[in-house]
Structures are given as C-alpha cells and as structure tokens.
Amino acid sequence: MSRRYLFLMDPIERIDIRGDSTFVLMLEAQARGFEVFYAHPRALRQVGSTPWITTNAVSVQYEVGNHFQLGKVVDEPVCAFDAVFMRKDPPFDVPFLTYTWLLDRVDRARTVLVNDPQGIRDFNEKLSALRWPELMPPTLVAAERKALRQFIDEHQEVIVKPLDGAGGSGIVLLRAGDRNIGSVLDILTQEGQVHIEAQVYLPEVSQGDKRLLLLDGEPIGAVMRVPAENDVRANMHVGGRAEKTLVSERDRLIAEELSKELKSRGLLFVGIDIIGGYLTEVNVTSPTGIQEANRLDALKIESAIIDKVEQKRSLLNG
C-alpha cells in the first residue's frame, strides 16, 4: 500500500518554493510515489478523543507561480496517515498551542509525527537552548524592565527578542546609553507584562549565523546566513544571504550535547543556530535551510529525512 503523508503548514499558495523546506519534503515524498496531502492546521478537530482533519490531496512541481494543484478532499482521522509533518511557522501563539494539543491525541504507534507535538510544545525555540547554558553567550529572560536595563548596562551591547517569533521579527540590538532602550523594552515586554530574551551581542554575527541541521540528533547539513551590511539579523527572510560553511568540531560537540534530549522528545528534524561557536537557538517548529544547504554542498537533505521517517514507520505496529 502506498504511503500517505500529511503536511500541516501555512497556506501553500504563499510559500516561496525557491527556499521553502516543506516544499522540497513534499516533492521528495511525491517522487517516491507517496500520496501527499496538505492542510492548514486550523483544519484539525477532535471528535471524542480522536483527532480528525479535512485535507486536500495535492500534487507539487518546481515551477514558480504554478507549484501546486489541489486534488480530492478527504475527511479522516489523523492516524489514517503514515506520517504527519507539523510545519506551521511561528508565532507560537494560542492557536499554535492548540494544534499541538490536538496532535497529542494521534496514536504514535500508527503514525510518525515530525516533529512530535509535545516536543514542539516543550521546546520554546529561545528558552530551550538555556538547557545548555555552558554552550551559550550570557543570556537573560525577563519581563521586568529594570533587570533588562541592568543586563544591557553590564554587557554594553545586547540583542533583545520576543520568545514566540521567527524569521528575525522583533530582534533589536541595544547599546548601553541608547535613548531608545526604554521605548524598545516597553514595546517588546508590553510594558513589563511579557517575558523577552536578552542575549549578549556576538560581533561574529557579521561573518554569519550558522544554521546546523540535525536529523535524529545528528548533523546532516549546514548553511551560513550572513546579514546584510545594514542589519544585525542574518535570517534569509529579511535579506540575509546563504554562504557555504563547514560543520566544525565545535558544531559537532554542540550537536552531541543536544542529541539525547532531542531524540527522547521526538524532535526528528531540528535546526540549531550557532554564532561564533555559541548556541543561540534550537528551532523545532518548522526549521528551514534545506534548499540552501543542498545547493551549496550538493546534498539532498529531504531524501535523508524521508528515509528516516520511513525507517521509523517500519518499526511501528501495523
């Protein structure tokens, strides 16, 4: 029987297929003869204790402006699919949290979940890195603006960012004495009501923010994201450029430290961010960088990911 893969993601018509990681995973599954289905996770619902979804079969092709065609509509329990890829981008808001609760009810003995919803929920992409503070630059998480100001005064140059964002949204470089500090902290903390992260600025970011891709805890590729000359953010979504890089011994040490925890939580495909040899984030919601690493290093990371999903599927019952 053919495999059936379900991809839960942002609207497919809006993606940029030249860089989207979910898209090449769909292409790979389709190339293997699998049935591919697409839905926004808001289509999830729970009937009794069983999660259901209304979804479309979809065919995809690498053609800008004509990259997908929707097929038949099916309405089925989520466990009817062999694998479910939760690839919705942050912000990690209440609706996103609800999606993870609903997916928690999927029978893991029947369906491979990439990534596991409990793992996604437990691993905030900023806070989770603090499980390994020895690998990180000095970092403070706080809502209290006085504590944040003291941290800035102590370290002079600090990056502040919200805990639930992605793609560089809300990231600001603050310098001690800057008259904008109060305003920025008021906005990001919603006047002291919301926790944010403050992290010592690493000037090495001008040479790049390395995205190291991990599959089941092991490095499978990397790309250096270099910020534009007039920006501190290296995210490609906001103008960073992708450059070839090597997986260093330091990178492997960091991956090894994280590996056991990631695997135990069902976080199969993860992207970690490393600046100047320091871990800064652990991305578990919808890690990107597959296409850039593929182009720079002649890889096919999506194939390795689907191989791993199939390996895990073969171990399940039924």
Catalytic residue among 273, 292, 302, 308: 273
Active site residue 161: yes
Catalytic residue among 20, 28, 216, 281: 281
Catalytic residue among 87, 121, 145, 161: 161
Catalytic residue among 88, 233, 265, 308: 233
pLDDT at 240: 77
Successive 10-residue mean pLDDT values, the chain, 318 residues: 92 97 98 98 97 98 97 97 97 95 96 98 94 97 98 97 82 95 97 97 94 98 89 67 96 98 98 97 96 97 98 85
Pull the structure tokens for residue 192. Answer: 């002291």
pLDDT at 170: 85
pLDDT at 234: 58
Catalytic residue among 115, 124, 235, 283: 283
Catalytic residue among 4, 145, 211, 308: 211
pLDDT at 41: 98
pLDDT at 233: 65
pLDDT at 165: 76
Contact 29, 5 (CB under 8 A): yes
pTM: 0.94
Active site residue 283: yes
Domains assigned to the chain = 4-115+306-314 (3.40.50.20), 138-201 (3.30.1490.20), 204-299 (3.30.470.20)
Active site residue 281: yes
Active site residue 313: no
Catalytic residue among 88, 126, 210, 308: 126
Active site residue 233: yes
Active site residue 126: yes
Active site residue 211: yes
